[in-house]
Amino acid sequence: MHDVTAAQGIARTVLEAAAERKAHRVECISIALGAMTMIDPDQLEFWLGQILRGTHAEGAEIEIEQRPLMVRCKECGWEGEAEVPEDPIYHLMPFAPSCPRCQSKSLAVLGGDECTVQSIRVRRAEAGAETDG
């Protein structure tokens, strides 16, 4: 359900942006997906494809950029990439990383918890393709 919810949020963002720009068709959707989200990119792409059926974004190319989980330890100041375990249990419960240096669990997340639309490329009925950064 987690992946479906994320896909629904992304679909809403994409369709709103497409409507705003009076897009005839959405050609490409670029998504930033952080490791902390525990979302399987294949699942996300699958559900997006399902949800976008019958919309202007049907059949759009989906690019998923996976981002590592970056943290800073509030205890010792260690900063870097936290390891995210490949354990399905974390799809059901929140995952709490710990500092590899002092094992503290009070970490600030610097990045890697995002699941957002970075950009979309649309085509208007009367004009050519338009890219938005």
**Minimum CB–partner distance for residue 98 and Zn ion (Å):** 8
**Minimum CB–partner distance for residue 69 and Zn ion (Å):** 15
Specify the DSSP element, H or E, that contains 65: strand 61-67
CA 26/CA 54 separation, integer angstroms: 12
119 and 132 in contact (C-beta within 8 Å)? yes
**Minimum CB–partner distance for residue 100 and Zn ion (Å):** 8
Nearer of residues 79 and 87 to Zn ion, judged by Cβ:
79
Chain contacts with Zn ion (rule: CB under 5 A): 73, 75-76, 78, 99, 101-102, 104
Q: Please enumerate in sequence order all residues whose Cβ is within 8 A of that of 127, keeping only pairs 6 or more positions apart, or say none.
A: none
Nearer of residues 69 and 122 to Zn ion, judged by Cβ:
69
